[in-house]
Amino acid sequence: LALGAVAESIGLGALLGSRILRLGVPRVAAAMYERCLSERPSEAGGESADPRMEAAHNLALIYRAAGEDHLARRVLREHAVV
């Protein structure tokens, strides 16, 4: 994939995860967020907002709601670094 396609794929995964979560299907949303987080961002992307940050935050919320606080902490530690 080209760098632009990877960035687009990451953004699409975060958007789909968000929409699926709003539909009330957290298991499928979590899978979309995990897929989004597995992609590596482009170094030259220059995007002001990284969709992986939103995906990490929302995935951590899903894990916390399921009582999996250790998974929520792991996701935030690995992916929500400023």
Q: Which residues of 54-78 are buried (b: 16+ CB within 10 A; e: fewer)?
A: bbbbbbbbbbeeeeeeebbeebbee
Length of the chain: 82
pTM of the model: 0.76
pLDDT digits (tens, 9 = 90+) for 22-76: 999 999 999 999 988 888 765 435 555 678 888 999 999 999 999 999 999 999 9
CA 77 from chain centre, in angstroms, equals 13
- Model pLDDT, residue 6: 55
- Model pLDDT, residue 3: 43
Stronger pLDDT, 16 or 30, i.e. the higher one: 30
